[in-house]
Structure 1
Amino acid sequence: MIEPMKFVSISGPRDDLDRMVNQVLCRYEIHLENALTELKSVSKLIPCPGTNPYREPYEAAEKLAALCSAGTKAAQTPSPASMTAEEAIAFVQETKKAMEAADAEKEALKQKLKDTHALYEQVNLYRELDFSIPELLKFRHIKYRFGRVLKELYPQLEAFAESSEDTILYKCHETDHYVTLIYFVPGPVSERTDAAFSSLQFERIILPDQYTGTPTEEIRRLEKELEDIKSQITQLDAREKTYLEDQKPALLQAVEVLGSYNANFNVRRCAAVTDKKEHPFYILCGWTTETDARALQKELEEDASTFFVIEDSREHVTSTPPTRLKNPALLRPFEMFVKMYGLPAYNEFDPTLLIAVTYSLFFGFMFGDVGQGLLLLIGGFLLYRFKKLDLAAIISCCGFCSTIFGFLFGSVFGFEDVIPALWLRPAEAMTALPFVGRLNTVFVTAIALGMGMILLTMIVNMAVSFKCRDTEKTWFDTNGLAGFIFYLSLAAVIILYMTGRPLPATAVLAVMFVVPLLLIFLKEPLAALVERRGPELSGGAMFFVEGFFELFEVLLSYFSNTLSFVRVGAFAVSHAAMMQVVLMLSGAETGHISIPVIVLGNLFVCGMEGLVVGIQVLRLEYYELFSRFYRGTGREFKPFLKKQTF
């Protein structure tokens, strides 16, 4: 069913808007409308101004909460009512400052670690050099150069140094690609030697003056310093983690509070305010359930600064009510099929019950087997129980009906000699009909069932159209009263002829065949006449030509729509035939049954045919039933505020 809706208006002092939203309205579900659009007749209204003060604190709180260890949020977070928005903002700012200070200290340590590691990498290149680095750095008349050269070019440098009387070359360290070295040269000739070394791609390395001993001593000192810095970073991380864990309950609480205030602040996009400088007030309006409307009205009766109005008349309401479906838990999964077609409009008929009953019934008829039905029933139930999938619940309901029809057909995993058929065997039962001969009973039953469903949907269409005051669709449409009388008369004639009563059948055909079709042919002028708009016969001769072909199409649609239900019986017969093939392949006829073939065959039929039958039944629902009475033009009820319980 469609839950009744009420249009409500709320107004009060503009400065009181945030309090109203965050302390009162957030506990109710309201589909807000744009107040400026709804209140066009009210002058001097402007959009509600303001910058969201909760967005940045909320984003900061979320980032801080993400740094906390994972856990059950609901179990560790107290009620949001115990912390105000101001307290939450102050707490987040304090926590953010503490974390920023810790981060700044950590960044300083990381930079120090980087610099120290760079020093370590430099001095490590000269670990074979057994001299005090500070002593080398004190040289004034002898120039020294630290650096490296490609390994393949080192022999040339070495040859140059040996041939030069002014250059002393000392090899320090060798890697796969480079040779690290130091050379000494007198000051007056240093430029010439530097040019020669540079021509051989010598890369100079400038050593800073932080070193205090030999390279070996410096390496040990720097290694210890690196370990100390890493230890400080680890301790700082541990302190941050401990600090966040201590603050976690309050932090998660702040996230809840600020998240609520941040979302609720967006209500201003739907609000309107007066442009008066003295005593400005806000206006909010929208749709809510009748239950919430009465509860909110009762609560606001004690609030002297707030005015609350329930619009019982819709004459002054611009928007159409949104649709909120409210069905029992057993039917709720079938709302998925309704929403796939389109939500019903507020004044429309909710087809959830109809599709739940007919879909399960048709599926069971087309897929009748006790064993496979129980598999669908149990498997769908377990899947819905643990995964909460609506489709799984639908499969479970279909499995229940399949099990019932399995008993009626006497079929258990394809075996038809295990239990007796309570009704018939689909592949064997035949019925003798006049003018037709012998016909499979399930085909006859399927057509009769289809005719009954078409008549039922015509009744629903008349009721919905009458409620919407649509004269043409109620009385003269193909699915209105005229079409109902014609199709009911046609069904009665067929039944009378098939049961051997030709005389009353001919009388009914003569009386009821022409009049309803004539009403359908003249539905437009008749509807205009009933609505006192005057008969309309625009188009002259073309009106009769178009009407004739439309009437011919109507007759064809009645015929094709009725025959479309033959598929219900056809799939029942094909299911039995497919299981006979599985039994034949398993060797059941010879008495030596192959269990693997039986299991695999049943799984294949259950999966493949179950999918095909599910699609075919949905096609019947949409094209043969829904198309007669259902429009699906509704809009979904979407509460602007997240309902909270304090």
Structure 2
Amino acid sequence: MIEKMKFLSITGPREDIDRVVDTYLSRYEIHLENALSELKTVKNLRPYIEANPYKEQLASARNLMERFSGTLPKIPANRGESLPGIKEAASFVEQLNEELKELTQKREELAVQIQALKQSKDRVAPFTELNYSLREILGFKFIKFRFGRVTREYYDKINNYVYDTIDTVMFKCLEDPEYVWIVYFVPDKLSEKIDAIYASMHFERVFLPDEYEGTPLEAEHVLADRIQALEAQEREAQETVKTILEEKKEELTGAWIRLERFGVNFDVRKLAACTMHASNNFYILCGWMTERDARAFRKEIEEDADTFCILEDNRGNITSTPPTKMKNPGLFKPFEMYVEMYGLPSYNEIDPTVLIGITYSVLFGFMFGDAGQGLCLLIGGFLLYRLKKVRLAGIISCCGFFSVIFGLLFGSIFGFEDIIDALWLRPQEAMTDLPFIGRLNTVFVVAIAIGMGIILLCMILNIINSVRAHDTEKIWFDTNGAAGLVFYAALASVIVLYMSGNPLPATAVLVVMFLIPLAVMFFKEPLTAMVEKKAKKLHGGVGMFITQGIFELFEVLLSYFSNTLSFVRVGAFAVSHAAMMQVVLMLAGAEAGDPNWGVIIGGNLFVCGMEGLIVGIQVLRLEYYELFSRFYRGSGRAFEPYGKTEKA
């Protein structure tokens, strides 16, 4: 169902807006509208323009909370009365930010130094086998040196084909399965030639800065010691920050909540309007509340001399349309997900949540009738919904309940049909003799009957929605309106009468009740114009109107036929589920009396997962295409409350 809404206009002294929002509106759900748009006929109004004086402090508080949230407690919203004032909160955040700023900068500087030293250590680490002072090597004047690496393949080629033919000394250092790190020395005069030869061997040069002491191994140890010392300083700075936050964590969290709340409250000004009088300026807020909240709010402000509230009952004076807030019993609440996926109902439209909850669960249970597998879906979905609040899990749990019911009706438990007797029928075995058709599986007949009943119900719902929307054509002359309802009800009656052996009454119904509704649907446009007392001009002339009407009528009849047959899939899946479980039992050797329980368990899991997914999708398709398309428009807008901390 959809909550009843009331439109409110709230006003008071301009400087009192923060108190009203914080005291009252933060505890009620109100969907605010732009006051200037709603009050177009009111003169001397202007936007409420004002800059947030605590914008920087709010940004600082958010930054602190994001960076240190792991060390901070969560203060519940009901401690609002213990929060500091807005000025105290802003002052506290400024002081704490300055106190932590120096420590934070120190940590950042240390992190940069540590990273640079680690990079330097990584550069020298592959050359620790070179037992010679790096500083002396870097100071050579007549001998050039090159640090770098080559792949193993080219290292072997250098040794086998090149090394003995050139004037160079090569020293091998670290090696791994892919690369060999080397240092080679060459006379200054031959350096260009030798460098070119090594480059042709894919030598990748590594540049070492002039900052190392001793051998590469000694330099690595020195760098490691320096890194360790800087990391100790970084940890010390971090511990200092943690200590400060530990001492002031409650104050910081409280200040953040106060600043956040003030920021949200302050943003209300974007939707407010102000009077333009020289003195006694007033703010005006407009929005929607549920009928229950509106009554409670008005009662609460009765003793407040500075706050006034007006309820507008005349919809003609309201520019915006009421937002939609659905309120359904807990059992059906998960099914709101499917409604939201299609589109929210408009305010005056029927909320289809209960309908989809019942029909989806029943159809799923019919198509997936197994007491054992249904019980698994029921328990698993229920636990997941209770623990994680996953709405799809709640839907699965409801579907599992009806799967258990139909499993008992079909006499099926984990595919076994010899444990209990069927309370109704066996989907693969039950047959029905029908006139003109012959023998037909009973579940197909029942599925068609269920589908026809659902289609008739949707037509009735469409008429109700059309009455609420004052849509004359859809009420009386549409294929899903009164004409369509009479035609389809007559069709259902004829089928029932013929199948029950009563052809004469069926023929009478066929003659009288078929032709009149078809004629009404054929002439729906001129009939609508006549009822609404509007002139209707036939575009293209009478011939084009008749041709178009014939094709549209043929499409209507075809859609009635296809929509009805679409429900055959309900019976088909009921039969296929039983057939798949027979295959599982056959593969497990159940007929021999000594089944392979591993195959049975695995087969049940496979069928439960795969067919459960397919059945869920097929039922959702039926809901959207065969039910919703007949009566539901889904053109509503969501109720988006400004904010709510708690009810007083």
Under TM normalisation by the shorter chain, which class is it? 0.7 to 0.9
Greater Cα shift, 523-532 or 552-561: 523-532
Report Cα offsets for 1:274-306 as digits up to 9, x if no partner: 233322221110111111111111122222222
Q: Tell me if the contact between 2:364 and 2:403 (Cα under 8 Å) persists in the aligned partners.
A: yes
Q: Which residue is equivalent to 2:29?
A: 29
One-letter amino acid matched to 2:279: E
Q: Which residue is equivalent to 1:529?
A: 530
Q: Which residue is equivalent to 1:626?
A: 628
Q: Tell me if the contact between 1:30 and 1:639 (Cα under 8 Å) persists in the aligned partners.
A: yes
Residues 1:235 and 1:602: Cα distance change in structure 2 (over 3 Å) = closer
Residues 1:563 and 1:279: Cα distance change in structure 2 (over 3 Å) = same
Identity of paired residues, percent?
58
Q: What's the CA shift for 1:644?
A: 3.9
> Does residue 303 of structure 2 align to residue 302 of structure 1?
yes
Measured in 1, the distance between the counterparts of 2:571 and 2:110 equals 79
Match 1:150 to one of 138, 144, 148: 138
Q: What's the CA shift for 1:533?
A: 2.1
Q: Tell me if the contact between 2:77 and 2:645 (Cα under 8 Å) persists in the aligned partners.
A: no
Q: Which residue is equivalent to 1:274?
A: 275
> Does residue 305 of structure 2 align to residue 339 of structure 1?
no
One-letter amino acid matched to 1:480: G
Q: Tell me if the contact between 2:410 and 2:424 (Cα under 8 Å) persists in the aligned partners.
A: yes
Q: What's the CA shift for 1:76?
A: 8.0
Q: Which residue is equivalent to 2:197?
A: none
Q: Tell me if the contact between 1:324 and 1:636 (Cα under 8 Å) persists in the aligned partners.
A: yes
Q: What's the CA shift for 1:477?
A: 0.9
TM-score if structure 1 supplies the norm length?
Answer: 0.81
Residues 1:224 and 1:151: Cα distance change in structure 2 (over 3 Å) = closer
Q: Which residue is equivalent to 1:591?
A: 593
Q: Which residue is equivalent to 1:220?
A: none
Q: Which residue is equivalent to 1:39?
A: 39
After TM superposition, the structure 1 = structure 2 runs for residues 206-221 of structure 1, keeping only pairs within 5 Å, are none
After TM superposition, the structure 1 = structure 2 runs for residues 200-599 of structure 1, keeping only pairs within 5 Å, are 237-534=238-535, 537-538=538-539, 539-599=541-601
Q: Tell me if the contact between 1:489 and 1:508 (Cα under 8 Å) persists in the aligned partners.
A: yes
Q: Which residue is equivalent to 2:55?
A: 55
Q: Tell me if the contact between 2:414 and 2:604 (Cα under 8 Å) persists in the aligned partners.
A: yes
Measured in 2, the distance between the counterparts of 1:111 and 1:623 equals 61
Q: Tell me if the contact between 2:8 and 2:309 (Cα under 8 Å) persists in the aligned partners.
A: yes
Residues 1:147 and 1:396: Cα distance change in structure 2 (over 3 Å) = closer
Report Cα offsets for 1:227-255 as digits up to 9, x if no partner: 99987776554443222211001111111
Residues 1:78 and 1:628: Cα distance change in structure 2 (over 3 Å) = closer
Q: What's the CA shift for 1:225?
A: 12
Q: Which residue is equivalent to 1:603?
A: 605
Report Cα offsets for 1:328-375 as digits up to 9, x if no partner: 111000000000110000000100000000000000000100111111
- SS of corresponding position for 2:377: helix
Q: Which residue is equivalent to 2:160?
A: none
Q: What's the CA shift for 1:442?
A: 0.4
Residues 1:338 and 1:237: Cα distance change in structure 2 (over 3 Å) = closer
- When Rg is computed on C-alpha atoms for both structures, the one with the higher figure is 1
Q: Tell me if the contact between 1:68 and 1:248 (Cα under 8 Å) persists in the aligned partners.
A: no
Measured in 1, the distance between the counterparts of 2:589 and 2:55 equals 71
Measured in 2, the distance between the counterparts of 1:113 and 1:586 equals 64
Report Cα offsets for 1:43-63 as digits up to 9, x if no partner: 222221111223321221233
Residues 1:71 and 1:417: Cα distance change in structure 2 (over 3 Å) = farther
Greater Cα shift, 534-543 or 292-301: 534-543
Tell me the number of residue pairs that the alignment of Structure 1 and Structure 2 aligns.
565
Q: What's the CA shift for 1:77?
A: 8.3
Q: Tell me if the contact between 1:149 and 1:178 (Cα under 8 Å) persists in the aligned partners.
A: no
Report Cα offsets for 1:194-242 as digits up to 9, x if no partner: xxxxxxxxx999x9xxxxxxxxxxxxxxx99999998777655444322
Measured in 1, the distance between the counterparts of 2:143 and 2:597 equals 82
Measured in 1, the distance between the counterparts of 2:17 and 2:43 equals 20
Q: Tell me if the contact between 1:524 and 1:536 (Cα under 8 Å) persists in the aligned partners.
A: no
Residues 1:443 and 1:238: Cα distance change in structure 2 (over 3 Å) = closer
Residues 1:58 and 1:564: Cα distance change in structure 2 (over 3 Å) = same
Residues 1:474 and 1:155: Cα distance change in structure 2 (over 3 Å) = closer
- SS of corresponding position for 1:354: helix
Q: Gapped runs of 5+ residues in structure 1?
A: 116-145, 158-175, 180-202, 208-222
